[in-house]
Chains A and B, each alone.
Chain A
């Protein structure tokens, strides 16, 4: 097993890391370009999406494909609460927005929290019937659910403004909100997973019948995981809406769930640190791939830019990933100080041995 660091040391290291990241973000916020700040915000939001999906799919083993639906709920609820009343009147052309939403305007934080809670509420309502199903059936049911939410959003003109969507959303999302919530998400979910409840959820994933036999109320724990994941999905949706400032039902098609799935699988399904890594790489990688969509030179060769090339490359990458590297970067393991410590000391020992 090797030497392990004491808990005190680990706590100190984690705190230092958070402070370091916080400092970097502070500097970036002051000096970086708008483009870089946009990417950083997207990265944080994608981390929230990926970690919340990992809790449901990777840790608890509930193969849910409906994450986009809860993101949509978060986005719409938060937006309807923060849009100025005058703007609502202007936007809702086909049918006026229902009471009391057309009178309310709330600040960002309460709107985000309410958005998360309502997404969680939907998760609760949806969980009970869905969790009776296993494996593939559950996947299809949750996929249908996500799609149903999108269709309702497309048709409920007096609530969501239907296909027209909502625009001129106040751009509240900044580095502090997005990364603040990202930290909160990671903290809550990581803390959950590192507790007896985390073991219970993993046990349910490994063998729900054995878990039952060991005294675990499988159903209530699955619901808990689903609701918690949906809450953060809703929060992420709220942050996202207030970043891109326009939303419409098309933004929440199955494609969105698929993107998050890529992030999670890339990082390792079942690992929180994997989800963070996967989300970060995906966010940055997607921007790099954008290069492919406008003309560029590679050595001597001129490549014409092709719109849509990004997604083609992405999907090919995912297929290759699954064929050759199913585990993803972290597999089911977590990045930990012990792991790092062991890695570093092994390297140092090797170096020391060579010098003898």
Chain B
């Protein structure tokens, strides 16, 4: 189960749970859940544009938050959706740092079946925690 949408957690918004064997895998699955909230089939996103990103935070939890916010930012500011994420996550001197390359393309209503526009990642009941064999996150997106 890389990610799944949760039915009765958030009535007006979209809740999902994601898992990964590593933190980078968890981030990738969470990003796919976010993209899948906005388009029906993230696999159809082509790789015509690459973006390098770097995000830092005081915890793994807030690192995921800022990473997802970055994707929401690109969706509005440059109309970009991504489905390929090459990520490196490290903790140095007490801070978490993500470096990565995102591959995707501009939103095209002709080719992408659009779903809900995501406004923000909510911190309500937001968690990132270790589980047996990896990491798990529960996230509510404001749509």
Q: Do A and B bind each other?
A: no
